[in-house]
Amino acid sequence: MGLIRADYRPGEIARSYRDCGANALSVLTDREFFQGDLGHLGAASESSGLPVLRKDFTISPLQIQEARAAGADAILLIVRLLSPSQLSELQDCARELGMTALVEIHSAAEAEAAVDCGASLIGINHRDLDTLEMDLSLTERIAPELRKARPDAVLLAESGVENRAGRERVDPHVDGILIGTALMQSSDIPTKWAEIFS
């Protein structure tokens, strides 16, 4: 945790992502751990014209309302942090505001919870939030069962995809990839993008 990029200019970076071929943007807004800011959502959205996800530890409807007011199109719900009732409540709140909820999981049990709450966008996070250890095999193990349970859901692979080999490993199992650190820590985002997606 901490500062990921010293020369962080949300609008400029958002345009770079768009020009590289991104379909949507994930924007950190947590101040305490990541030096994020709610205002970065609007800057990224206005500069790129792409849908924007507020990437934060969402635990209340107020945060979802804030995200919408700041220009976000989607919010992050981490199954590990929420009870089943909270998960349903927050997902319903997002839908009422015309937003999408990215429901994040890290285990088979959490995948079941995502299915039970009717998640339509599910992210498989390779990083264990307790140990911070990375396991790219998680997508290979969990995605097939998710496909059976929710064939209509959109699946994303999150965290740990840093090169072409990693991308090719998860590609067959998901509809998209959320890449943060590998691109943000690069001094040349287009070159790093080409390295991963060529």
Q: Give percent helix, percent strand, percent coil of the chain, each to the nearest 5.
A: 50, 15, 35
**The domain that contains 72 carries what CATH number?**
3.20.20.70
Exposure of 33 in the CB half-sphere (CA atoms within 13 A): 7
Residue 100 belongs to some domain of the structure: yes
What does the DSSP assignment read for 91-106?
Answer: HHHHHHTT-EEEEEES
Residue 121: strand, helix, or coil: strand
Q: What is the pLDDT of residue 33?
A: 61
Per the CB < 8 A criterion, the answer to whether 137 and 161 are in contact is no
Q: Which tokens in the block code for residue 90?
A: 């927050």
Residue 2 belongs to some domain of the structure: no
Please count the structural domains in the chain.
Answer: 1
Residues 110-139 have a mean pLDDT of 94
Give the span between the Cα atoms of 88 and 150, in whole angstroms. Answer: 17
pLDDT tens, position by position, 23-55: 999 998 877 665 678 999 999 999 999 999 999
pLDDT tens, position by position, 173-194: 999 999 988 988 888 999 999 9
Per the CB < 8 A criterion, the answer to whether 18 and 49 are in contact is yes
Per the CB < 8 A criterion, the answer to whether 167 and 197 are in contact is yes
Q: Which residue has the higher pLDDT, 88 or 130?
A: 88
Residue 162 belongs to some domain of the structure: yes
Q: Which tokens in the block code for residue 92?
A: 């319903």
Q: Of the given ranges (14-23, 27-36, 125-134), which has the lowest mean pLDDT?
A: 27-36
Q: What is the pLDDT of residue 3?
A: 44
Give the span between the Cα atoms of 120 and 108, in whole angstroms. Answer: 17
Residue 4 belongs to some domain of the structure: no
Residues 113-140 have a mean pLDDT of 94
Give Cβ neighbours of residue 84 (< 8 Å, ≥ 6 apart): 113, 116, 117
Q: What is the pLDDT of residue 185?
A: 86
Query: What share of the chain in percent tops pLDDT 90?
Result: 80
Q: What is the pLDDT of residue 8?
A: 65
What distance separates the 2 farthest-apart alpha carbons in the chain? 43
Q: What is the pLDDT of residue 72?
A: 97
Domain that holds residue 152: 10-197
pTM for the model stands at 0.92
Residues 65-84 have a mean pLDDT of 96
Residue 149 belongs to some domain of the structure: yes
